[in-house]
Amino acid sequence: MSRPPIARRLRASGRVQGVNFRAWVRDRAQARGVSGWAANQADGSVEVWLQGDEDAVAAVERAVGDGPPHGHVDRVEAEDVAVRDGLEGFARR
């Protein structure tokens, strides 16, 4: 029996814009079957929505904390959020 999906909203701060961060997160999420999006924010952070299997979401969340080779993540704020019905794929916004 499979577990129900979970959803987490993250806000990554640091050098996360202009370093291909959103595409990097998308690639990690897609590789693990996690749906959601990554969107630049006006304050220089990136908001990330992750939804899927608990272990897969946790793996992508850990990757977000590490960041891409050309970026630097200073902080990740995370919160549990309600799962959105019909959310499929991963988008860069």
Residues with active-site annotation: 22, 40
Q: Whole-angstrom Cα distance, residue 19 to residue 70?
A: 6
Q: Whole-angstrom Cα distance, residue 5 to residue 14?
A: 29
Please state whether beta strands 6-15 and 46-52 pair in parallel, antiparallel, or not at all (unpaired). Answer: antiparallel
Phi, psi of 10 (to 5 degrees): -120, 150
Q: Whole-angstrom Cα distance, residue 47 to residue 12?
A: 6
